[in-house]
Each structure stands twice: as structure tokens, then as C-alpha cells.
Copies of this chain bind each other. A is one copy, B any other.
Amino acid sequence: MDIKQQIEGLKKLQTKLYGNDFLLTWEKSNDELKAILEVAQILKDMRGANISPRLFDSGLAISQFRDNSTRTRFSFASAANLLGLEIQDLDESKSQIAHGETVRETANMISFLADFIGIRDDMFLGEGNKYMREVGAALDDGYATGVLPHRPGIINLQCDIDHPTQSMADLLHLKNEYGSLENLKGKKLVMSWAYSPSYGKPLSVPQGIIGLMSRFGMDIELAYPDGYELIPEVVELAGKQAKASGGSFKVSHSMKEAVEGADIVYPKSWAPFHIMQKRTELLKKSDRAGLDALEKTCLAENARFKDWEYNEGMMKRTKNNNALYMHCLPADITGVSCAAGEVAGDVFEQYRVKTYLEAGYKPYIIASMMLTQRFKDPAVVLEKVLEQNNKRVPFR
């Protein structure tokens, strides 16, 4: 579909994205999610056609990473730069969870000329998303009192509950793999726990996946060894959404059985919910010894499930022996990045390029979240960009 047609499609969607932060996919309507995907695809196609969608002459996009990041950091930087904004990183020297007054003040102090704040805060269960809303309230307050000339938008770059820029990139990948969102109906997607030699991986990816993918009529199966529960509220939500969308949702406890007949598999390690709770307590108290002990227990527990590896045998059980393999990367690849991991080396290699393509949507998803937050009528704006036809590389 050409860019013009896509813009026409975008016009038909009813959205209230303008002026609202992007914190959880399930706070957004289906039309809103579709609009994010459309705008992302248009921006990607414009990049391919050397059309610059520079919408800002200047301005800052602030990033705050309370946990390490390479790919999301670069995705955010790429998105901001594409739209004409400069990245400015807020680097907290200490990893304390700042609360209350400090958050409110800092949020205002950095935002006098800011357009967006992207936040990653996924270390502490019960804290990350809350922190983002605290920043949001501070910005509302700053705008209402005339401190800020406009209200900067917030983008959740991964919290304790959701990882919307990841799950939306994954969804755009699926849409393009299957031709349309409609074509996802009736497909079986397995979000499965997988073994990893490390522990403490956040829950936000599996939660983000079941919280989003359950809205498009798919049959979602969430598989994990007993004890590796996710946040109950998100699981419950996924069930309701699946039902409402004409799909289904099921929790099971064997990767082997779950992948049977699957169209799509997402094998990915995570730490159990109750461990993450304990870990949060220990992190807050900076209890090094306690954390070390917890890690030992967990790794021993993990080791009991080394057979939760997605490999040739597992793949053979999927639909036509070739379910689409997905991962947010980096994966723990057996024989490549570790001795035993989430996925066998040969299986990963078959889908490696597809996982790269999957990741490649993220910068455009973030740019789309920015654009739709800041411009009332994205279709009209994109039409103007198309008409203006500024070249990103003028003399190419």
C-alpha cells in the first residue's frame, strides 16, 4: 500500500491519543492501537522513500533509563532525531527511588523546553509505572500553573507492568507477517517461559505480550513452570480481552504441550512474580547478602527447568513445523550466548533475521507514539509532510 492510501486509512480511525501519555497498551482503544501502527508504518515507508518527517525545528526529548538499555535507548534516540528533537539523557547518579517532592520538582526543572520524556523503570515491582504517573502528575501541575509552556508527553520505555514499545513493535511485525490484523484471528500464539542461566528478568515483556495480543482474536496460551506466575491482574485482563475479541486465553504448565499446533511462539525467560516482590524489598533495603541468597535459590530453581528450551523438537510440534519464532532480544541462545538457554542455536538462526526485523519496528513505534501524542490530527500532518516532500538526504 502506498503512503497516501495508508494516510487515508488512518483518517478513518477515532482516537484520543492527542495529549495523553502512552503508559499501558490496555489503556488505549483498538482504533488507537491501529493508529499507532499505521503512523509507524507510514514513517518507516517515508524513511525508505527519503522523505523527512521532521516535525520539530528544535526541542528536547529526554530519556531516563533507570535500568541498562542499548536497543531501546537507540530506538528512542532514533525516533526523536527523526522528528527533529535532540536527546538529553537524565542520568541519576544513584539508583534510589526518588519519591514525592523530588520527582515533582525534577520533572518540572528538566521540562521547561522539553517535548517528551521517555522512561524505563522496570527494576522495582509496584514502582515503575507508578513513578511514570507521578512524573505525569508533576507535568500536569507544571502546565496548569504556567510553569511549563506545554505539557511534555511521557512514553513508557518499559516498566514493571508493561513494555508497550516492545509489544507494539511485535504487533506491527505480526501484522506485516500475516498481512493484516484481521488475519491474526484464530492464530495460536504461545507466550512461554523458557530457561535462562540468569535470573531476575522483568515480567514486563510476557505481560505486555499477553496484555496486547489477546485483543485480536488470537488463541493465546501462556505457559510456565508452576511458580513462575505473572502479575495476576494482567493475566486476568488478558483472559477477558481474549474472550471479548473472539479468541481464547489459557494458562498451562508445559512448553512441550503448549507449542502443539502453535502459529506463533514467544519463548522468553522471566522471574516469578513472588520472587520479584521479594527482590524489590531487598533492593529497597540494599540488602546485598539477601539478594545474593535469593539469586542462588532462584538459579537452583531455574535449573530444574532446563528442558524449557525452544528447540527442533519443540518446533516440530508447531503448525507445519514452523511456527513464527519471536523474541525481544537479546535471547539466551544455547551454544551461542550460553551453554543452555531459551532457544537452541539452530532454531534461533532460522529466525534470526526475522527477530531483527521485529526489533526494527521499535524506533518507528516510538516516533509514532510521539507524533500521535503531540498532533491532534496525525493524518493531516503526515499529508503535509508528504506534500512538502523534504528530503532527509537532500543531494542523494
Contact = CB atoms under 8 A, between A and B. Distances in A.
A360 B100 CA distance: 20
B363 A81 contact: no
A356 B145 contact: yes
Contacts of A360: 112, 147-148
Interface in A33-80: 47-48, 52, 54-60, 62, 68, 70-71, 74-75, 77-78
Contact of A110 (B70, B102, B375): B70
A108 B356 contact: yes
A57 B55 CA distance: 11
Contact of A60 (B81, B84, B109, B384): B81
Interface magnitude class on chain A: 35 or more
B52 A58 contact: yes
B58 A81 contact: yes
A67 to B, nearest CB: 12
Given A109-B71, A113-B363, A363-B113, A395 B390 contact: no
A88 B82 contact: no
A396 interface: yes
A72 B337 CA distance: 33
A394 B382 CA distance: 12
B78 A113 contact: yes
A112 B362 CA distance: 9
Contacts of A109: 70-71, 74, 329, 356, 359
Interface string A377-396: 00011001100001111111
B393 A55 contact: yes
A101 interface: yes
A86 interface: yes
A237 B363 CA distance: 45
A383 to B, nearest CB: 9
**Tally of this chain's copies:** 3
> Which are the 6 A-B pairs with shortest beta-carbon distances?
A78-B113, A147-B356, A52-B57, A71-B109, A74-B110, A145-B353
A179 interface: no
A375 to B, nearest CB: 7
A84 B101 contact: no
Contact of A100 (B62, B102, B113, B336): B336
A100 B106 CA distance: 37
Most chain B CB within 10 A, of A59, A62, A102, A333, is at A59
A353 B59 contact: no
A392 B329 contact: no
A390 B84 CA distance: 14
Contact of A81 (B59, B77, B82): B59
A88 B87 CA distance: 9
A41 to B, nearest CB: 14
A102 B70 CA distance: 12
A48 B149 CA distance: 6
Nearest to A361: B112
Contacts of A60: 74, 77-78, 81
B55 A394 contact: yes
A81 B57 CA distance: 10
B86 A81 contact: yes
A332 to B, nearest CB: 11
Nearest to A144: B353
A239 interface: no
